[in-house]
Amino acid sequence: MAKILVTGGCGYIGSHTIVDLIENGYDVVSIDDNSRSSEGILNGIEAITGKSVKNYKVDLCNYDETMAVFQENTDIVGIIHFAAYKAVGESVHFPLMYFENNLFSLINLLKCTQDFEVPYFVFSSSCTVYGTPQIIPVTEATATQPAESPYGATKQMGEQIIQDAARVGNTRYILLRYFNPVGAHPSISIGEMPLGRPANLVPAITQTAVGKIDKLTVFGSDYDTRDGSCMRDFIHVSDIAHAHTLAVEFLASKPEGPKLDTFNLGSGNGVTVFEAIKAFEKVSGQPLNYEVGERRTGDVEAIYADNKKAVEELGWQVRYNLDDMMRTAWAWEQKLLHQGALFDSQNSKLN
């Protein structure tokens, strides 16, 4: 069984990708310092796959500790690098923390990749690298624009660092540019666990619906789109996850392929914020409490993916539609609420 190292394996996309890798016959180890994730998610992975995944609680910014994981696992054939800070607003307030964390960790990991001659490396990039595109949908060839935030800059710089690293050694690299990953694994054993008040739309919708948030604010309704709200490309997290397995298989099946390749991972459909809310109301059967507020600084008016390259070259298929995304996100939120209630009642018993 080929062994894949997943960094950020306890995170949202990382955990779903581990499930997909195991289901496709891979052996997986994880590095996650759990500074922004919970190791408990590994129980969810085990519930789905029947496999217990080893997680090294290591900060990738610590080179020696990172290297020790490679020394212990000399049979790693591929690395999928998710671990990073990803809150856009936070990155504006703490830019150096973002550059330090996201870039030092990447550089350490790339040094290990080259020192241990790991054949494949897959990097979590983002559609944020396109900035505000002039033409949509965007293809991988669409020119990138200046980043809207330090977080976005770390993704652009990360891509640049990998491009230069790829000129040395035999490792081959894939950059995956995610659009808006949402939803939860169809088993509802794993899902997104945002820290604090969620900045992203779908967890903000579901938290509003369960009453954790009083009212959702739609950031702007005066955009030049079909209903005035921003347009995004929502894609189910399990579809994103499977693309990573396909990326590793693609690298393994094309030994003479390019040293570096890039793929968009989006559904190819532009969906507005109001349409997303309507889809949620339909699947949950309940109206959502929301109001229209000011535009959010840094928001892009409209973006969605041309995903032809991933479909044709990776053999990727989008299996879940918007209703599926909302249904699974909603079921997961209700499960979290139920678990919270259980926790509270246990605590009150203890008290």
Provide the annotated active-site residues. 151
Q: How near is the Cβ of 53 to ligand UD1 at its closest, in Å?
A: 24
Please choose, out of 53-61, 62-70, 112-120, 199-207, the segment that lies near ligand UD1 by the rule CB under 6 A: 199-207
Burial track 263-296 (b if 16+ CB lie within 10 A, e otherwise): bbbbbbbbbbbbbbbebbbebbeeeeebeeeeee
Q: How near is the Cβ of 232 to ligand UD1 at its closest, in Å?
A: 5
Q: Please name every residue paired with 216 in a beta bridge, in sequence order, or none if there are none.
A: 290
Q: Is 114 a binder of ligand UD1 (CB under 6 A)?
A: no
Q: Please report where in the chains the tokens 């619906």 appear, as a residue.
A: 209
Q: Report d(CA 278, CA 259) in Å as an integer.
A: 43
Q: Report d(CA 298, CA 313) in Å as an integer.
A: 33
Q: Is 265 a binder of ligand UD1 (CB under 6 A)?
A: no
Q: Report d(CA 219, CA 127) in Å as an integer.
A: 19
Burial (CB count within 10 angstroms: exposed 0-12, middle 13-18, buried 19+), residue 32:
buried
Residue from 54, 111, 278, 296 binding ligand UD1 (CB under 6 A): 296
* Residue closer to ligand UD1, measured from CB, 199 or 337: 199
Q: Is 174 a binder of ligand UD1 (CB under 6 A)?
A: no
Q: Which of positions 208-237 make contact with ligand UD1 (CB under 6 A)?
A: 216-219, 230, 232
Backbone phi, psi, residue 166, to 5°: -65, -15
The count of residues interacting with ligand UD1 (CB under 6 A) is 22
Q: Is 42 a binder of ligand UD1 (CB under 6 A)?
A: no
Q: Is 193 a binder of ligand UD1 (CB under 6 A)?
A: no
Residue from 5, 6, 300, 325 binding ligand UD1 (CB under 6 A): 300
Q: Is 331 a binder of ligand UD1 (CB under 6 A)?
A: no
Q: How near is the Cβ of 199 to ligand UD1 at its closest, in Å?
A: 5
Q: Report d(CA 300, CA 272) in Å as an integer.
A: 12
Residue from 142, 154, 180, 206 binding ligand UD1 (CB under 6 A): 180
Q: Is 113 a binder of ligand UD1 (CB under 6 A)?
A: no
Neighbours of 207 (CB within 10 A): 18
* Residue closer to ligand UD1, measured from CB, 218 or 241: 218
Altogether, the residues listed in the chain come to a count of 351
Q: Is 152 a binder of ligand UD1 (CB under 6 A)?
A: yes
DSSP annotation of 295: P
Q: Is 207 a binder of ligand UD1 (CB under 6 A)?
A: no
Q: Is 126 a binder of ligand UD1 (CB under 6 A)?
A: yes
Neighbours of 138 (CB within 10 A): 23
Backbone phi, psi, residue 190, to 5°: -135, 155
Residue from 240, 273, 310, 314 binding ligand UD1 (CB under 6 A): 273
* Residue closer to ligand UD1, measured from CB, 48 or 329: 329
| Helices and strands (H, E) in the chain, number of each type | 11, 13
Q: Are 116 and 76 in contact (CB under 8 A)?
A: yes
* Residue closer to ligand UD1, measured from CB, 22 or 318: 318
Query: Which residue, 85, 68, 166, 155, is CA-closest to 119?
Result: 166
Q: Report d(CA 199, CA 207) in Å as an integer.
A: 11
Residue from 68, 107, 199, 337 binding ligand UD1 (CB under 6 A): 199
Q: How near is the Cβ of 342 to ligand UD1 at its closest, in Å?
A: 28
Q: Is 80 a binder of ligand UD1 (CB under 6 A)?
A: no
Binding residues (CB under 6 A) for ligand UD1: these are: 86, 88, 126, 128, 148, 152, 180, 199-201, 204, 216-219, 230, 232, 273, 296, 298-300
